[in-house]
Structure 1
């Protein structure tokens, strides 16, 4: 088939590469415009744009699917659009630009975790099995019928590892869905069961509450690492903590939020026990070993989390 690929971040690159190696013809790649990155706000192309140009593919840049971009897509005379984390909503005019429709690789088992942050929300919720779905985009929020789904473990240490894994494993599912569409053998199954929603992660979502059980603290840290980064306040200043893992052998007691050194490791007291902390990032400073930090500061205690809505 003649297709357009629509995607923007790193997680979309494996699918682009898989489609470039498939029998389908990528007529163009649709991605978000160059955006300022880093403290110096340097204008930087998206990972998908960078890879598309390396592959010799034409690139269309748009932050909204309307106006000239619709005209351009119509002029390509395409069969389908394959989407992975493009970052803009396709309305009726956009969806009508491809004969067979638009098809999205989503990182959950729909209808669970519809929305912008399915892997992050699933990790925060302590979900241990999730997966990927390829579905037809309609005018709802991830509500279209499913063509392919693959159940996968969700046992990753953080969002970055989970997304990298799901992007790699999901790419062949998207290719297969398009293969079946081209052959006329695709089966589209309406979504059934109770839906859940995965809104975009905010800084407030990343705040740790050390009165919660250790498992809950670890899950929230996993679901917000590396960005925006799990944090708590220390002397009124936001301090990030990374690499939280269980420490079930520790029996010492302390107030929740206490960070101390024991057995040559940094240990953090939670509501029902301790967790290991690998790295700490004090406000305005680079990330460093939590054990090294404690050697220079001694035992510390994070401020109580009084924001119950965080």
Structure 2
């Protein structure tokens, strides 16, 4: 990992407003609080239905704020009334980590030092809601945590700091997001004294922009007639959300993180055919799914049948009868 435009400094008592919603944002909030900064208020999305009973539940950020005793503003839209509430917090700077809604121009101007955002790509690459997922879909070896100044455009503002991150093999997007949040929070806590003092001079983004819109369930479908490299990228990029899946007959089968199999596969080359792994390149707790386009397969260690929890792939396979071919309802 490499780091730029940041250096260690001491926390200040200057009030900060934090905006975020999911667990990665709560992770960042806890890190900022633990570093000694004065988070005077939190902006987050409203309580949402969770679980099979659809019980209204505060966001992870709202829960973290309650534990820390920080006042919370819950809203799905930052309108004139919310903007006034933001001003009344007395915060000098806003910090955004995965809030989930755009901040209009009046809100961007509501705080004296504006707003900075922790983004999960090397901007201007992968602007949008799913930068990690799209980087992994495209087989990128590295990405970055980037702190930039928010402006009206979608992730277009000048960059204060960035830190490079190497994407591990056979790792889910969820794990990458968690690790990038740790990296980005460390970067942010070092940079905040300069941001709060108005001493950080951001640099305009350089390079060709690309977009990273939110992925759909259709994006997460795994078709074994595609090459193995593409399938591994798609499985890992869409785990845990929206969740990589394929078909076993007419039943959906969710897939855990995967990696390429590089050994000899002297078997029926039908794409989707499942083999029990027996070599040191794919231990016996794994499965190998044959793919099209080359002699390699995809190694699976976990699967989740419909209505059940994620389980060991080999245990699931032992419960199947006859030849198993994934990716088709035929």
User: Which category describes the TM-score, using the shorter chain as reference length?
Assistant: over 0.9
User: Relative to total residues, which structure has the larger strand share, 1 or 2?
Assistant: 1
TM-score, length of structure 1 as denominator length:
0.93
Q: Which residue does the alignment assign to 1:132?
A: 145
The farther-off stretch of 73-82 and 111-120 is 73-82
Offset at 1:204?
Answer: 0.6
User: 2:6: which partner in 1?
Assistant: none
Which of 286, 295, 308 is the matching residue for 1:285? 308
Which residue of the other structure, out of 171, 182, 187, is the alignment partner of 1:168?
182
Q: Do the aligned residues in 2 keep the contact of 1:214 with 1:270 (CA within 8 Å)? A: yes
Distance 2:230 2:211 in 1: 19
1:6 is the counterpart of 2:27: no
How far does the alpha carbon of each residue in 1:184-207 deviate from its partner, in whole angstroms, 9 at most, with x for none?
320210111011111001101101
Partner residue of 1:155 out of 168, 173, 196 = 168
CA offset digits 1:253-298 (Å, max 9, x no partner): 3201111224134211012211221122223333322212222214
CA shift, 1:59, in A, is: 1.1
Q: How does 1:88-237 map to 2 (within 5 A)?
A: 88-155=101-168, 157-237=171-251
Separation of aligned partners in 1, 2:159 and 2:189: 14
The equivalent of 2:10 in structure 1 is: none
CA displacement 1:119-151 (0-9 Å, x = unmatched): 111111111110111011111000000001111
CA offsets, 1:164-186, max 9 Å, x none?
10011100222233211233320
User: Aligned pair count?
Assistant: 306
Give the match for residue 240 of structure 1.
254
Does structure 2 retain, via aligned residues, the 8 Å contact 1:116–1:199?
yes
Unaligned runs of 5+ in 2: 1-13, 279-283
1:154 and 1:69, CA in 2 relative to 1: closer, same or farther beyond 3 A? same
**Alignment partner of 1:268 is 2:289:** yes
Q: TM-score normalised to the size of structure 2?
A: 0.88
Over the residues paired in the alignment, what is the CA RMSD in angstroms? 1.8
